[in-house]
Amino acid sequence: MVTSAERPAGAAPSAADQDAGPPSRGRVVAGRFFASWQGRAGFALLALLFALAFAGPALSRWSYTDKDFLAFLSPPSADHWFGTLQTGADVYAVTLRGMRRSLVVGLLAALLSTALAAVVGAFAGYFLGWTDRALTWVTDLLLVLPAFLILAIMSPMFSGGQWPLFVAVLALFLWMVTSKIVRGITVSLKEREFVQAARFMGVSPARIIFRHIIPNMSSLLVVDATLNVSAAILTETSLSYFGFGIQPPDVSLGTLIADGSPTAVYAPWTFWFAAGLLVVIVLAVNLAGDALRDACDPESGRSR
């Protein structure tokens, strides 16, 4: 390609030069993300975990619902790679099923909570007045409500495959702090020239919020959603450990850790595989979240 220095004076730029504009923000952030070892390690671990959770069960002949009545609480072997539970269930199949459920719950809850925070915070900051007071009142109320107690009371509603309801209720208690941050940013953004220009052109407030204000906070929202994944997974695991989260016959890492706790000393394979995968998931999400935060805001990485 002919550079600007090699182009003859007065010559028009070529089509290739015209197409080669500055890189988009997404490409810049992705480059910074994969340039850090945290980003590469977090992404690789998450990719491996998702592949294991969704494709791993196909590698074994045992399903998470199967029982081997000739192998109760047996250690890892060629037939049962992770051993078996007291019921004869294959630990490998059950653990991957539980990890899949925990990953799905964590991702969906994080996405829902971040979306709710963006909408509530943006509307409160844009309209102010009574809209701001009402939404702030709801936000403050949810901040002081005992989330664990409410989820425990509602736990009977999560049985019989109703885990999507559990995801919705879990997301309901994860968005409040972020919404306050979004509100403050929106108050500043609404005075910017591009927002005022859209308002003078007669663009509706809802369109301004969804087309101009929220996209300008995409970096914050992406990082918040990433970090909320580990928070949602840990919350789900804690609730399921005490019997208030995912309900039988479904399983999650929390239910597997709770079931394996009594036998963790003399049959460690019933506990440590699920507990170890939980640690790796949270570590991978935190590594990816830290790298993504530094990629979106390089000054945050220099200040640490």
CA dist 282 and 276 (Å) reads 10
Asked whether residue 281 is domain-assigned, the answer is: yes
Asked whether residue 43 is domain-assigned, the answer is: no
Domain that holds residue 252: 80-302
Alpha helices in 145-271 (DSSP H): 147-154, 163-171, 176-189, 193-200, 205-208, 218-241, 253-260
Asked whether residue 2 is domain-assigned, the answer is: no
Supply the CATH number for residue 268's domain: 1.10.3720.10
- Number of domains within the chain: 1
CA dist 304 and 52 (Å) reads 34
Asked whether residue 54 is domain-assigned, the answer is: no
Per-residue pLDDT of the chain (304 residues; tens, 9 = 90+): 444 444 454 555 555 444 555 677 678 888 888 999 999 999 999 999 999 999 999 999 999 888 988 888 899 999 999 999 988 999 999 999 999 999 999 999 999 999 999 999 999 999 999 999 999 999 999 999 888 888 888 888 887 678 888 899 999 999 999 999 999 999 999 889 989 899 899 899 999 999 999 988 888 888 888 888 988 998 888 888 888 888 777 888 988 999 898 888 899 999 999 999 999 999 999 899 888 888 877 665 554 5
CB 117 within 8 A of CB 293: no
Apex 84 CA angle, 80 and 87, nearest 5: 140
Asked whether residue 32 is domain-assigned, the answer is: no
Asked whether residue 259 is domain-assigned, the answer is: yes
Asked whether residue 227 is domain-assigned, the answer is: yes
Question: What is the per-residue burial (b if ≥16 Cβ within 10 Å, else e) of 234-252?
Answer: bbbbebbbeebbbbeebbb
Burial of 223 per CB tally in 10 Å (0-12, 13-18, 19+): buried
Asked whether residue 185 is domain-assigned, the answer is: yes
